[in-house]
């Protein structure tokens, strides 16, 4: 069965690269640049993994991660947070994410982390 991944990033270039890379790796991918669309998309798409950019307009990726982890139906869905703010790793982990990927990132690292979280 094909695994589903939801990606949030307000940088369209990053969103396109991540979407293309994960699709190439045989995942079904939905992407959005709007934080307000994340929870409705989770309910509609029922992803096996969520990737959130930390710095987005509206609700940041950390708060979205916390919402997902507190939701009774989606609390076990692994969440990866993208962040360019490496010094704040402890703060990001406090939101309950399962992994952090520092920007700029290597696509190999992204695929490895996704595979490790999604296949456990």
Domain residue limits, the chain: 4-118
As beta bridge partners, residue 101 has 82
User: Is the pLDDT confidence value at 89 over 90?
Assistant: no
Name all contacts of 68-76 with Cβ < 8 Å and 24+ positions apart.
68/39, 68/42, 69/95, 69/96, 71/42, 74/42
Distance CA 80, CA 112 (A): 12
Element (H, E) at 95: none
Helices (H) and strands (E) in the chain, counts: 5, 5
Res 115: pLDDT: 97
The domain covering 4-118 belongs, at the CATH homologous superfamily level, to Response regulator (3.40.50.2300)
Lowest mean pLDDT of 37-41, 84-88, 112-116, name the range: 84-88
Q: What does the pLDDT read at residue 86?
A: 66
Whether 79 contacts 65, CB under 8 Å? yes
pLDDT of residue 35: 96
Distance separating alpha carbons of residues 118 and 8, to the nearest angstrom: 17
pLDDT band for 120, please (50, 70, 90 cuts).
Answer: low
Cis peptide leading into residue 104 (ω within 30°) = yes
């Amino acid at each position: 069965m094909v695994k589903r991944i939801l990606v949030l990033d307000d940088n369209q270039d990053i969103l396109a690269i991540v979407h293309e890379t994960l699709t190439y790796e045989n995942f079904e991918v939905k992407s959005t640049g709007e934080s307000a669309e994340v929870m409705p998309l989770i309910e509609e798409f029922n992803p096996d993994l969520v990737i959130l950019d930390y710095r987005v307009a509206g609700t940041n990726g950390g708060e979205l991660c916390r919402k997902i982890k507190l939701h009774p139906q989606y609390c076990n869905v692994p969440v990866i947070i993208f962040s360019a703010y490496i010094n704040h790793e402890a703060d990001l982990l406090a939101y309950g994410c399962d992994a952090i990927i520092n920007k700029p990132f290597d696509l190999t690292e992204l695929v490895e982390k996704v595979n490790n979280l999604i296949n456990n």
